[in-house]
Amino acid sequence: MSDNIDIFLNRVAGAAEQSLLVKMTLSKPVQKHDELRNIYVKPVLIKEKRLFAFTYHYERRDEVKNYDVGQMLGVLKEMLPQRFLNAVLFTVSEDVTLLVSSKGKATLQTKKVQECREPDLEHDKQKNRLINPSNPWWYQLGLTTREGKITADMQHKFKQIYKYAEIVESLIKPMKFDGTVHVADMGAGKGYLTFALYELLTQRLHLNVDIKGVEIRPDLVLKINEIIHSSNLKGLEFVESSIEAFRLEKLDVLIALHACNTATDDAIAKGIKAGAELIVCAPCCHKQIRQEMERSGKVDAITRYGIFLERQAVMITDTIRALMMEYYGYKTQVMEFIEMEHTPKNVLLVGKKTDKVPDRLLISKQISDLKQRYGIGTHYLETLLH
């Protein structure tokens, strides 16, 4: 081992023992195809004991392990330079960079810093998380281990859930509610997004809630209600019902994510009729409009191709949904739910109720023009609302 690597390790040990270590990174894997891409290190305080959290960033997952000073130095000796060629130590007063060439030559660079730094001992930044994977329901739902670590095969699913929580927080946070927030999650399925919504509203935004997860499959309803009961989650319940048959008493927020075909329209109609302040839908399947277009025989240079006909049907279906919500006094927007690499069902249709009087004649004409152009007789949502 070169002298400069020894010097770097000694600087790490000194900074750790004197509580001067702010953070540290290890990067540039020796093997270009190494699944472990880099390591991030920060001090944490756990049960009154100062430790060092190592976050191992793999290609498709993260792992976190906590070490004391001795263990940390042991890991660094194993990693430098056998696994990583670059390391940077950030202290309260300076940055120390270790660079190892492909031939094994190690150089050391030191840079004084002007800004005021101090170690952040908060463990895992859980207070700032929208969703906390260590909550027991995530393990029971199959997304994490007992220790609260996201399983490798659920990394993409959790990313989708987290993105959903970010969007919903941005929509709900500016809103004012009078007392308990009444929420219906239509077609709640396995409950991932329903639990994320519950956690966001209660633990992040500190709201009182009455959330109903509406799901037609009795086995899922039974399983999810058992998890809710064992986790003692007040204000959350799954109800066995179709979206069409579900009866609403009071509603502030309606969620319908990936409700198939016209079930999305059933959900939107219920939200509008109940006067929901916020409607959030991620539509799934658009068979009704596509079949109307096919029956009409009207084709153009785009819809003559099957795959483009499908995509056009999707856009027309959701455009008319958005226009219908505007007709009933909602300000609408369409946004990307999650990157296409994670799911093709990536459109989020949002409606926020406003006091602005809509131009219903103009909206009706826009809907009529679309229907006429593509040979559409009736959009299912129209039949529900008229």
pTM of the model as a whole: 0.66
Q: For residue 1, is pLDDT > 60?
A: no
Q: For residue 342, is pLDDT > 70?
A: no
Report the pLDDT averaged over residues 24-34: 92
Q: For residue 343, is pLDDT > 70?
A: no
Confidence of residue 128 (pLDDT cuts 50, 70, 90): low
Rounded distance between C-alpha atoms, residue 8 and residue 25, angstroms? 13
Rounded distance between C-alpha atoms, residue 139 and residue 150, angstroms? 9
Tokens of 231: 């986790």
Report the pLDDT averaged over residues 201-219: 93
Q: Read out DSSP for 256-306? A: EEEEETTHHHHHHHHHHHHT-SEEEEEEE--HHHHHHHHHH----TTTTSH
Q: For residue 75, is pLDDT > 60?
A: yes
Mean pLDDT over each residue of the chain, to the nearest integer: 88
Instruction: Give the domain ranges of the chain.
Output: 3-124, 128-385
Q: For residue 7, is pLDDT > 60?
A: yes
Residue 98 exposure: Cα atoms within 13 Å on the Cβ side: 30
Model confidence pLDDT, tens digit, residues 261-318: 788 999 999 999 999 999 999 887 778 877 887 787 777 777 777 788 888 888 888 9
Report the pLDDT averaged over residues 329-350: 73
Q: Which amino acid is at 308?
A: F
Model confidence pLDDT, tens digit, residues 113-126: 876 677 777 654 44
Please report which helix (H) or strand (E) contains residue 23, including its range. strand 21-29
Contacts made by residues 29-35, CB under 8 angstroms, sequence distance 24+: 29/83, 29/84, 29/85, 30/81, 30/82, 30/83, 30/84, 30/85, 34/83, 35/59, 35/60
DSSP 221: H
Burial class (CB in 10 A: 0-12, 13-18, 19+), 289: buried
Rounded distance between C-alpha atoms, residue 122 and residue 100, angstroms? 32
Q: Give the architecture (CATH level 2) of 128-385.
A: 3-Layer(aba) Sandwich (3.40)
Tokens of 346: 């990536």
For the chain, how long is the longest CA-to-CA vector?
81
Rounded distance between C-alpha atoms, residue 193 and residue 365, angstroms? 36
Q: Which of 193, 216, 340 is nearest to 281 (CA)?
A: 193
